[in-house]
Each structure stands twice: as structure tokens, then as C-alpha cells.
Amino acid sequence: MDRNSRIFVAGHRGLVGSAIVRRLTEAGYGNLITRDRSQLDLTNQAEVRTFFERERIDLVYLAAAKVGGILANDRFGGDFIRDNLLIQTNVIDSAWRAGVRKLLFLGSSCLYPKHAEQPIREDALLSGPMEPSNKPYAIAKIAGITMCQAYRRQFGFNAISAMPSNLYGPGDHFDPETSHALPGMIRRFHDAKMAEDPTVTLWGTGTPRREFLYSDDMADACVHLMEHYDDEEIINVGPGDDIAIADLAALIRDTVGYPGTLTHDLSKPDGHPRKLMDVQRLFATGWRPKVPLEEGLRRTYAWFLEHAAPERIRQAAE
């Protein structure tokens, strides 16, 4: 990359996309191209092709996707597979047709088999059955990875694919029902604190283990990979360690300052029992995360209080 490259960040208002924009701006990249949904519908092939033909993009960070937690995936599986297939197909194909030099596609650790050997190596993809709760999303994203690999082999298109661990940070979605586990817990603990509720109920047993990467660290890894990685094989991106959901809940409770107790709804699904990725391939390129989980939680809750807390949203509307 050079400072004059025309760089399209697809999904620039999302958790990862907004962090990528911050990272590139701080690094002095001045030709960042962004479009919101009202300006460019990524599910519309004609619009996307016209956009790439007109804008002469050099590099693409494909962070746009329809995402959500267990409940959202279970309720809206059709939306998840349709929208993600359309977005990634249109962007990847149009980027290749328009002569884009390089594209970074983002997958997810949830694409790996439910019972993959831990830590999960990149070659575990498609080696076993998927977690049923997010199968439509996973199949769509695996198709995107395969498309990047096929376009590289057939057309010489320089497309790479990264597999992030669970991400969190400023700009996340904090809906208690449709968000991912970590931001959903921040919202539930905050609401319980404000309402002085004596208990907060969490889904499942609390025993599954997850690894969490702060969004600005993920953005830094994306820029690093764009500059230093050129292989068709997927590459895991994560901190290399994990935490039980129950222990994460205790950390979030302390961060929020909620004084009540935790209970568990055992009728709700746990999802994958564990998702710890092998990040040796990434670390061998010289990259390491910088933000510890406790610090990332403090930053995320501070952003939530300023931008996304129900009280703040209500005040803004007034």
C-alpha cells in the first residue's frame, strides 16, 4: 500500500470497518472511499459494478456483512445467507472486473466445525459439521472464502481471507437480544444497574470458552495483512488465548459496576463449546495484539455510555 492508494472500506460504519477507517486515517492514508447504504446498496449487482467502474479503487477491505448473535442467526437465517452471499459476490466480482490490486475478505471463527480440535488451525475449515445455530451465515462466508481462492487461481486476483476471533469495541451493536455475547452482556448489566434489578440472567451454562479481540487490534491486523500477506490460504486473527463466558460476565459486571448476582438460563443454547484459534501463522508475520481484554472492556463501556446507552439515545432524540 502507498499513501495515495484509493482504498474502499466496505462496511465503514460497522465495528470492524469503522476501526479500519480510524487505523488508515491515523497512518496517513488520505484517499479513503466509503459509502453508506443509502449511497450504495452492496446487495445490488448493478450499483456495485457501476461504483467500481467509476471510482477506480486500488484496494478493498471487505468488512461489510450481516452479522448477529445466536438468537439473530436462529430467527433470521434466510436473511443472513442471502444478504451475505449477495454482498460478497458483488464486491469480489466487481473488484476483480475493475482491476482492483488487492482485496481483504473477512470470515469468522464461527465458520469452523463445532468440535474442531483446539486450538483451531486454518486447515480445520470444512473438516467437520458446523454449529447448527449459525449455519446459514457460516455457509455464506465460506462461499466468500472459496470465491476469493477460485478467483485467485483462475484470474490471478490478489484476494486474501482472514478469520477473526470474536470482536468487540466502539461501534458495536448492543441490542440485548440480537447482538453478540459480549456487547449484549454490557447492555444487560447496564440496564440492570440503572433499574436496580437484583439479578441478571445469561444464556446457557457459562462454560463455553471464547477469545475476544478488540476492534482496533483487528483493524491493525487487517492493515498489516494487506501489506504483508499474499497467500490464498485463510489466516486466523486473534489474541491466542480465551476465557470462559462466566468469567467474561464477571469481568463485564465489574466494568459496568453492577452490584447484583448472575443466574443462567439453561434452556438456551451454548453454541460452540470452545473457539480458540491457532494464530501461529499470523504471529510469524510479526503482528501481535496490543489491547488486553480488561482495558478493551473499559474502552468499550465508555463508548457505550457516550453513544449507545438507552439514556444517551433518548436524550439525543429529544
Give residue-wise pLDDT tens across range 248-303.
999 999 999 999 999 999 988 787 788 899 999 999 999 999 999 999 999 999 99
CA distance 33 to 233: 27
40 is in an annotated binding site: no
281 is in an annotated binding site: no
pLDDT of res. 269 = 77
pLDDT of res. 197 = 96
CA distance 159 to 240: 25
Catalytic residue among 61, 112, 137, 258: 137
Name the amino acid, one letter, at 106: L
CA distance 117 to 87: 31
**Res. 70: pLDDT tops 80:** no
Contact predicate 212/296, CB 8 Å = yes
Q: What is the 3-state secondary structure (H, E, C) of 195-259?
A: HCCCEEEEECCCCCEECEEEHHHHHHHHHHHHHHCCCCCCEEECCCCCEEHHHHHHHHHHHHCCC
236 is in an annotated binding site: no
Identify the DSSP state of 306: I
In 10 A of CB 280, how many CB atoms? 12
For the stretch 76-120, pLDDT in tens is 889 999 999 999 999 999 999 999 999 999 999 989 998 899 999
In 10 A of CB 211, how many CB atoms? 22
CATH annotation of 7-317? 3.40.50.720
99 is in an annotated binding site: no
* Residue 217 main-chain phi, psi, to 5 deg: -65, -40
Q: Confirm whether 137 is a catalytic residue.
A: yes
Radius of gyration over every alpha carbon of the chain, rounded to an integer in angstroms: 19
Contact predicate 6/56, CB 8 Å = yes
For the stretch 10-64, pLDDT in tens is 999 999 999 999 999 999 999 999 999 999 999 999 999 999 999 999 999 999 9
**Res. 157: pLDDT tops 90:** yes
Ramachandran quadrant class, 104 (left: phi over 0; alpha: psi -120 to 50; beta: rest): beta
224-252 average pLDDT score: 96
Which residues on adjacent β-strands are paired with residue 81?
none
DSSP string, 21-53: HHHHHHTT---EE---TTT--TT-HHHHHHHHH
How are beta strands 212-214 and 166-168 bridged, if at all?
A: parallel
Residue 176, classed as helix, strand or coil, is: coil
Burial class (CB in 10 A: 0-12, 13-18, 19+), 154: exposed
121-138 average pLDDT score: 92
Distances in whole angstroms, Cα of residue 300 to Cα of each of 120, 182, 255? 27, 10, 10
166 is in an annotated binding site: yes
pLDDT of res. 315 = 65
190 is in an annotated binding site: no
* Residue 166 main-chain phi, psi, to 5 deg: -65, 130
**Site of grid cell 484459534:** 277
More confident residue, 176 or 168: 168
Which residues on adjacent β-strands are paired with residue 83?
none
* Domain boundaries, given as residue ranges, for the chain: 7-317
193 is in an annotated binding site: no
CA distance 293 to 297: 6
82 is in an annotated binding site: no
**Site of grid cell 462454560:** 207
